[in-house]
Amino acid sequence: MFSNRDSHWDLSVDDRNGQRMLVVEVKTKRNASSEWATRLRRNILAHGTFPKAPYFLMVFPDRFYLWIDAGDPLEHEPHYIIDARPILQPYFEQAGVSDEQISRMRRSGSALGSIESDC
């Protein structure tokens, strides 16, 4: 079940018992290193205002970073780094945009504005 109820996450997924299993944060930044993504994750989780889940996925136009058991130490590198381009490219093409255009778009009013600037 997909959910975004009382959550600051861009997307979250609950199991059939209502337990949050996956949280997703979507960013428009391209070429984000795993170190940068790790610092952003640390900053997000350190503030304690976002509900946690066993899986934490950070989505960029060109890469996915996945942490398993988001209770790991905050400085833990991602467990998986996935090249997102072959996955997202068909959707970009269908929408008539490129990943460069997506990365130039900025979400206004993001709850993570100040957290992100600390990275």
Give the integer Cα–Cα distance in Å for 91 and 85.
10
Count of CB atoms situated within 10 Å of the CB of 11: 15
Overall residue count recorded for the chain in this entry: 119
Q: Identify which of 59, 81, 80 has the alpha carbon closest to the alpha carbon of residue 69.
A: 80
Q: Which one, of 41, 20, 47, lies nearest residue 119 by Cα?
A: 41
Cα–Cα distance for residue pair 110/25, rounded to 1 Å: 11
Average pLDDT, the chain: 82
pLDDT by residue (tens digit) across 43-55?
888 887 777 789 9
Query: Is the CB of residue 64 less than 8 Å from the CB of residue 84?
Result: yes
What pTM was estimated for this model as a whole?
0.79
pLDDT (average), residues 3-27: 83
Lowest mean pLDDT among 45-49, 61-65, 88-92: 45-49
Helix or strand run (H / E) with residue 34:
helix 34-46
**CA distance linking residue 12 with residue 24, whole number of Å:** 6
Instruction: Give the model confidence (pLDDT) of 68-85 as tens digits.
Output: 985 566 778 999 999 999
Burial environment of residue 112 by CB neighbours within 10 A (0 to 12, 13 to 18, 19 or more)? buried
Q: Hey, what are 70's tokens?
A: 């988001």
**Percent of the chain clearing pLDDT 70 (strictly above):** 78
